[in-house]
Structure 1
């Protein structure tokens, strides 16, 4: 006899069900449930241009009560290799249907398909911390948001807006950004572990060609060119209009900032802090070891207002994941990877050096036993095996194995994902 839970149908949606799927997404994220015509049109364009089979829904008596979507993505591993990723987004369960295993069924369907396709990892940005660890995801990158008190930066307002290296900053429009941005982003993300790919739709949405809401406000865009004329940086930002007692107190909010060189990054931050009337600059999502506080003469003028986990990674193929990245040291590790979903668990020997790495199944004695989610946190180089052992999440089979793992896996700069998806 079937239970009421199993009677709920979990499957890819049809084209006619798309508006109901969007309604369920909006309901789950506590937005106005009925989409506007502009939102429906924009999101339908995404649906029609992608793989409709990766839009999943749970249906109870014909009504969509849970949603799940994935799309193809590339994730930059340590060293610059791009690995195929299954990016997860649009995950909701309607409040009336919680605790019925719907997310588990949706996730199992999607991850099995990703494994079959040959994706090395799955990725997501977690709205809630406690949900995704049970599906083998681990927090692999973190982010910090800064608020800069401009009058306290110590920057000379007569000089800080002009780059000191012979480069220049110019204001541009959205059409220029769509021309210049994709190439710059490719250069940036190839050098940044944890960064993900952006498709053409990303640039259209983020420059207002495709608008989910009629309230879209055109941001400001600035480009940094080196002394040789090379485009090395772009920033998108919005400004409010806030005066008190005939004095300006405007805030600039950075939507995104890309810099291929430290010179470009320094120049763009100093430019933003030099705009007339602006007394605060909000950085948006930045790497936790960003240059921002220290490009200012007084780093205390920048206050960290948000710090937290960002990109979560679920490894689907241990061998390909560990062989894709580079290693600054040389050594071997035997890892016992525990995967409750049975997608990629087992015992593996990693042999790594600056020349490359090999990862093979083995029966040798184990150095470290860890969950697949904790392996994901170590894989991009941000987490410490010694710290995870202290937390009881990694078990050492050999004394000092955690230190050996850190020497192989940790990176000099922290991984970072600039994107929300």
Structure 2
């Protein structure tokens, strides 16, 4: 006898409490809780209620996502999804996903995106694995940064993360980076707090958050956010640098920041999470084998309106292809569409012409940002070529010059 309803702001504590319990029961630190309270959009959040008890949660943020070609496309950032362990296997998650995607469509958002705690869950709702992330753990006693010409002309200076001027510089640099790489989120007001969140109780033995700005001729061209540890062993100092974010708007500023991070006194290791899989860092380190590389899935993407989604991006090569799309969960997408586009734009709409490729909406989501190719999906048996030659041309067109990347979670 559960009831699904839109979240009332006064019920946020109980709603969020159900979410925390579902994810292990540990409470957020007060600063983190306050931030998520402020960022939650109640009108886009759903709660399942069994009497006075919240037994399910699902929310969405109103994002703009960068896509190939540089456009910022409205997208629902699906988040805070949970079902109480006492209420599993009753179709409650499905009911929330159904209501949520209907609402997203009504709002006119062509895309929905999420990060999955359990990737196996969301494929059945049409979400495809669209981006991956790289983690590194660099042994700086044996790895050096081979910086390009011009790096020495970049000046570095410490800046207080608490200084509003520092925050403005960080956000200006981030905003300039967004259109360049698919998968990035244009930060809405309030989201700038996420990068600088630094509650003392959450530092796990590290220093307070530090910031270094990269400048040339008075212009800020990059920044690094990081913390350090003061560990030691019998051999002496054995500290680490924990990198939160690094951005450089040109090769020299980017290399200067990494050279700095890998050269901090009394540290032997630099760790960084959630980097792009084509990070230029891989070509700056002198020994990539001692850089502890690891890759995993990250952003999952679902076209809510296939035609509008495919028309919102550009294509790396001219394409004219008819897609036979399967979509059991959002049947309005099922059927044939013709996609015609190039580097200047695209159109996509229903057609009765014979299909060239057959695939589900999940494969479109995986290939949409250029992170997975239609060719590799076909090799996995998830895309079928119906007209000889169609796969090669469409796969090339869907590609991206740079790998898609989600720089922070939500």
Q: TM-score, normalised by structure 1?
A: 0.90
Q: For residues 153 and 37 of structure 1, what CA distance do their matches in structure 2 show? A: 39
Is this contact kept in 1: 2:2–2:49, CA < 8 A?
yes
1:317-396 equivalences under 5 Å are 317-341=305-329, 342-396=331-385
Contact between 1:207 and 1:218, CA under 8 Å: does it hold in 2?
Answer: no
Q: Distance in 2 between matches of 1:29 and 1:313?
A: 22
1:141-156 alignment, distance < 5 Å = 141-155=131-145
| Contact 1:77–1:193 under 8 Å retained in 2 | yes
Question: How much does 1:357 deviate?
Answer: 1.8
- Preserved contact between residue 222 and residue 246 of structure 2 (Cα < 8 Å): yes
CA distance in 1, matches of 2:197, 2:29: 16
> What displacement does 1:262 show?
2.3
Cα 1:325–1:278, aligned 2, differ >3 Å: closer, same or farther? same
Aligned residues: 404
Cα distance change of structure 1 residues 215 and 412 upon mapping to structure 2, 3 Å threshold? closer
Measured after TM superposition, the shift of residue 343 of structure 1 is 4.2
Residues of 2 paired with 1:155 and 1:191: CA distance?
A: 24
Report the Cα distance in structure 2 between the residues aligned to 1:326 and 1:261, rounded to whole angstroms.
24
Q: Structure 1 residue 15 and structure 2 residue 40: aligned?
A: no
Deviation of 1:298 after TM superposition, in Å, equals 2.6
After superposition, residues 204-243 of structure 1 pair within 5 angstroms as 204-208=193-197, 215=202, 218-226=208-216, 228-243=217-232
| Map of 1:172 onto structure 2 | 159
Match of 2:298 among 310, 330, 343: 310
- Aligned-residue RMSD, C-alpha: 2.2
Show structure 1 runs of 5+ residues with no match.
1-6
2:39 corresponding residue in structure 1: 46
Deviation at 1:307, TM superposition (A): 1.2
Aligned equivalents of 2:375, 2:51: Cα separation in 1: 50
Question: What is the alpha-carbon distance in structure 2 between the residues aligned to residue 38 and residue 254 of structure 1?
Answer: 20
Partner Cα distance (1:155, 1:121) in 2: 39
* SS of structure 2 residue aligned to 1:151: coil
CA distance change for structure 1 residues 229 and 300 in 2, over 3 Å: closer, same or farther?
farther
Alignment of 1:83-94 (within 5 A): 83-94=73-84
- Structure 2 unaligned regions, length at least 5: none
Aligned-pair distance for 1:313? 0.6
Is structure 2 residue 19 aligned with structure 1 residue 25? Answer: yes
